[in-house]
Amino acid sequence: MRPEPFRIEPTFVPRIWGARSLAPLYPEKSNLPEPRGEAWLTGVDCRVASGPFAGKTLGEAWQEMPPEWRGTRFTELGDFPMLVKFIFPKDKLSIQVHPDDAYAAKHERAAGGHGKTEMWHVVQAEPGANVLLGTKAGVTKQLVLDAIAHDTLENLLEKHSVYNGDTFFIPAGTPHTVEPGMVLCEVQEYSDLTYRENDYGRTDAKGKSRELHVEKALDVMQFGKTAGGKIRPLSIYTAYRSHSKLKVGRNVTLLSACRYFSVERWEFYEGISISDGRGFAFDILVVLNGKGKIGWGRTAWKKGHDEGRGSSDFQAGQCWFIPAPLAVAPRTAPHATMLRAYVPDLAVLRSALKAEGHSKTAIAGTVFD
């Protein structure tokens, strides 16, 4: 079976805090009868829309694909490692926190046993939009309990203004909430474990409140300054040149990385090579804006030999799985922006960033253990 990229259909998830229009990413999802808060792009129940696994779920495709598609990083077959989604809040999310792997493995084996570290990239933000992330200095467990009892927990969290293109890293154990007025792309360890501390007294259409998990939340919360927060991305490669009215170039930044994921933002005019086909790990490409064609050819496994060429159209809102052996080169007119997500080798990544001229301090502010 020759490797080729395949498109994954999103699954649109109802949320009490969600939106009734997901335009412009999904203009067909307007005037919805119930609010949809998330579009899961790599959920294992999402359907594959193209390629040899069309019609199967992503989970089925992951199990059935040749090992070289997954990459040498995944020689031993396990669970699909990375969940990517869009978030569309029209109301505040609950104040919540996620466990780390150690706690989840001990207490949440029935739910998969994986913790949740995540990052957010701001696709769109309205003026005055904010996220609350991490506790203020001096906050203790008792202060949190008192604040929950008096519905003042927000006052104990750090508030960050949100602008288009911002990136936030949220390690497990960091309390947080997202306010309305933005669209986020979230990349995370594959887990749906959430411990709610406050849900603002909301009830669903049947008058039922969502469950709170205060005891577990306090077990896993990290107090004081934690790693992460708003991240300063690192420029990886920038090149622009003009040919009369035609602009050709690319701007590549590393948004955030940890052992679970590395996420890059690719802005380009005309054409760009995104995946180099080295075979280490598959890539996930998420199209934020623009349209064009993705071209590919297999180059990694037979040096100097190119086989299995092909191409397919892409547009905003789509998500593509790129097998590890493939070299991929999207082409667009006039402009497109994509996110590339993959599971990195942190030692190799840090070495590459150092070679690019980034300082140890700068790298430590973007790449986390």
One-letter amino acid identity for 20? R
Among the listed residues 125, 126, 127, 147, the one whose alpha carbon sits nearest the alpha carbon of residue 136: 147
Work out the number of other CB atoms within 10 angstroms of the CB of residue 204: 10
> At 13, is the secondary structure helix, strand, or coil?
strand
The active-site residue out of 36, 196, 265, 340 is: 196
Given a contact cutoff of 8 angstroms between Cβ atoms, the answer to whether 290 and 332 are in contact is yes
Distance CA 180, CA 281 (A): 35
CB-count exposure of residue 59 (10 Å: 0-12, 13-18, 19+): middle
> At 63, is the secondary structure helix, strand, or coil?
helix
In this structure, what token pair is assigned to residue 324?
A: 């590890």
Q: Is 36 tagged catalytic?
A: no
In this structure, what token pair is assigned to residue 322?
A: 């790129």
Can the peptide bond before residue 334 be classed as cis, meaning omega within 30 degrees of 0?
yes
Distance CA 325, CA 354 (A): 26
Q: Which residues does 59 contact at the CB level (< 8 Å), separation at least 6?
A: 44, 45, 80
Work out the number of other CB atoms within 10 angstroms of the CB of residue 196: 18
Active site positions, annotated: 196
